[in-house]
Homo-oligomer: A and B are copies of this chain.
Amino acid sequence: MAIFKALAEQNRLRIIRVLYQTSREMTCNEVGEQLNISKSTVSYHFKALRLVGLTNTRQVAQTKYLSLQLATFDRYLPGFLATL
């Protein structure tokens, strides 16, 4: 159920969509600006997505780059990303 909960929220879906459509890693800041959400809220959602294995984090100094964990989508929701 954790994955469904993670996907059952507007802003988390928007984050997934932007990650998928730009096809690259993005930072907290970048996503916050793009979607007009405060950085603390973005941080909160990033954590939720990471905890259920929908995203990966790569850290360089204080910057964290987020990307989709495609394997998780393929495993539990095959074809879903293509519908975004």
Contacts and interface: CB of A to CB of B under 8 A. Distances in A.
Interface of A: 1, 4-5, 7-8, 10, 13, 76-78, 80
A78 B77 CA distance: 8
A4 B54 CA distance: 14
- How many copies of this protein are present in the complex? 2
A76 B4 CA distance: 12
Contact of A77 (B1, B5, B10, B77): B77
A16 to B, nearest CB: 11
B7 A4 contact: yes
B13 A8 contact: no
Contact of A8 (B8, B76, B77): B8
